[in-house]
Amino acid sequence: MFRTMMNGKIHRATVTEANLNYVGSITIDSAILEAVDMLPNEKVQIVNNNNGARIETYIIPGEPGSGVICLNGAAARHVQVGDVVIIMSYGMFTSEEAKTHEPKIVVLDEKNHIEMILPEEKAHTTL
């Protein structure tokens, strides 16, 4: 059996752009992608803390160090510049792999720089 587990999480990213006319996807600073082991074209789920919207799309890498978090295409209708979002990727693991899997989690500051790397996410964690 395979289990779908969170593999990477970008917590408290601030949307810097929303481009309705782009073909689709989310552009993410490639330095952030590296920190959470996310890849270009990987499927991600985005949760908007401001309005509760949940979106699935794929990643386009942005300029490293730029702090860019840009929702493109139809996804741009679900965010406003300045909204705070959570971006998560998932992986398929065997039951044995899932028992020891450790996702990579980063918390960003208001300029989308990595403020903290969390070794785990415990119940009732608040920031």
Ligand-binding site membership of 52 (annotated): no
Ligand-binding site membership of 73 (annotated): yes
Active-site entry in 30, 58, 89, 90? 58
Q: Is residue 58 flagged as an active site residue? A: yes
Active-site entry in 22, 25, 90, 95? 25
Ligand-binding site membership of 74 (annotated): yes
Contact in structure between 50 and 126 (CB atoms under 8 Å)? no
* SS (HEC) of the chain: CEEEEEEEEEEEEECCEEECCCCCEEEEEHHHHHHCCCCCCCEEEEEECCCCCEEEEEEEEECCCCCCEEEEHHHHHHCCCCCEEEEEEEEEEEHHHHHHCCCEEEEECCCCCEEEEECCCCCCCCC
Annotated binding site for substrate: 57, 73-75
Binding-site residues from annotation: 57, 73-75
Active-site residue set: 25, 58
